[in-house]
């Protein structure tokens, strides 16, 4: 291991745990984060919260962990979860949405997350459909939503969020170092994790409230303002299916609309979006 990587890892190890009492005190008047469950180590905040949801836990409960042994992202990928450096949290939602509109939760969470990131970075945060937040073209945060639905209603949604805050790029695994970043890399200074966590929980609660009261149409323009690839060429990959064309934006259900090279509008509901131009 290089000296730089060793030094970066030591900085993480020396970092302090979240002052969770401060966070809970500030959130005492909120619905989200009241209660808040905090762990030094857990397999996955999403997995733990799913167990609570199945036992009837109320909307707004938040699970936060310093590290995850089985953190995961979309499409079954592993989410690197070093301790005492980043944020890993899950929020339980019981939305009044039809199953067809459940994907709107991811888009709303992306708006809330981008809003918070935007207050820290010198440039503009960007949303990579459907669930990543990029800064300078590199991934800074991701969202994983997992829902329990039947044909008529959504029983609950687990909203999982991971954010790279004080995680030096030099300490990241080789396989992600070239495409990931963190706030400490972008700003050159350590970030108060308590402050970011508070802003994020409050922002998600605010945006989710707007969704419940006014519908996604009220939030769609804000999502679009963070979408960096409108009018640009992209490739969307899902298993053995590949769609290449020009990104148009999203529809009201959260699907990505891509005008393919044959001039046909394709409605994309899942897949990896790869930009073909800056």
For 232, the enclosing helix (H) or strand (E) is none
HEC-encoded secondary structure of 89-104: EEEEECCCCCHHHCCH
pLDDT attached to residue 185: 95
pLDDT attached to residue 168: 92
Q: What is the mean pLDDT of the chain?
A: 89
Mean pLDDT over residues 237-261, rounded?
A: 90
Tokens representing 50 are 């799913």
Q: How far apart are CA 110 and CA 200, in angstroms?
A: 11
Rounded percentage of the chain residues whose pLDDT exceeds 90: 70
Q: How far apart are CA 135 and CA 152, in angstroms?
A: 38
The domains found in the chain, sorted by start residue, are 3-225 (3.30.930.10), 229-275 (2.30.30.100)
- Residue 239's pLDDT band (cuts 50, 70, 90): confident
pLDDT attached to residue 117: 98
Which region among 106-115, 180-189, 234-243 has the lowest average model confidence (pLDDT)?
234-243
Q: For the segment 41-98, what is each residue's pLDDT rounded down to a tens digit?
A: 999 999 999 999 999 999 999 999 999 887 555 545 665 667 899 999 999 999 999 9
For 63, the enclosing helix (H) or strand (E) is strand 62-68
Q: For the segment 138-166, what is each residue's pLDDT rounded down to a tens digit?
A: 999 999 999 999 988 999 999 999 999 99
Q: Which pTM was predicted? A: 0.90
Prior bond of 130 cis (ω within 30°): yes
Q: Say yes or no to pLDDT of 265 above 50.
A: yes
């Amino acid at each position: 291991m290089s000296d730089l990587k060793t030094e970066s890892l030591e900085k993480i190890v020396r970092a302090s745990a979240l002052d969770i009492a401060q966070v809970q005190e500030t959130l005492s008047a909120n619905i989200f984060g009241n209660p808040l469950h905090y762990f030094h180590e857990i397999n996955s905040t999403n997995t733990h919260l799913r167990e609570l949801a199945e036992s009837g836990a109320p909307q707004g409960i938040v699970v936060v962990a310093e590290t995850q042994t089985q953190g995961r992202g979309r499409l079954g990928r592993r989410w690197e979860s070093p301790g005492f450096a980043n944020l890993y949290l899950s929020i339980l939602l019981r939305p009044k949405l039809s199953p067809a509109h459940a994907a709107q939760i991811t888009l709303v969470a992306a708006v809330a997350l981008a809003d918070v990131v935007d207050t820290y970075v010198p440039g503009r945060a960007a949303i990579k459909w459907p669930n990543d937040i990029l800064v300078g073209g590199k991934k800074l945060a991701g969202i994983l939503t997992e829902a329990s639905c039947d044909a008529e209603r959504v029983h609950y949604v687990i909203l999982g969020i991971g954010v790279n805050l004080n995680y030096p790029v030099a300490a990241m695994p080789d396989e992600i170092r070239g495409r990931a970043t963190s706030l400490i890399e972008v700003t050159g200074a350590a970030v108060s994790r308590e402050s970011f966590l508070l802003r994020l929980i409050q922002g998600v609660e605010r945006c989710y409230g707007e969704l419940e009261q006014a519908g996604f149409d009220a939030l769609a323009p804000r999502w679009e303002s963070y979408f960096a690839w409108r009018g640009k060429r992209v490739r969307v990959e899902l298993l053995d299916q590949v769609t290449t064309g020009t990104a148009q934006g999203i529809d009201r259900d959260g699907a990505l609309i891509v005008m393919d090279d044959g001039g046909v509008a394709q409605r994309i509901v899942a897949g990896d979006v790869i930009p073909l131009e800056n």
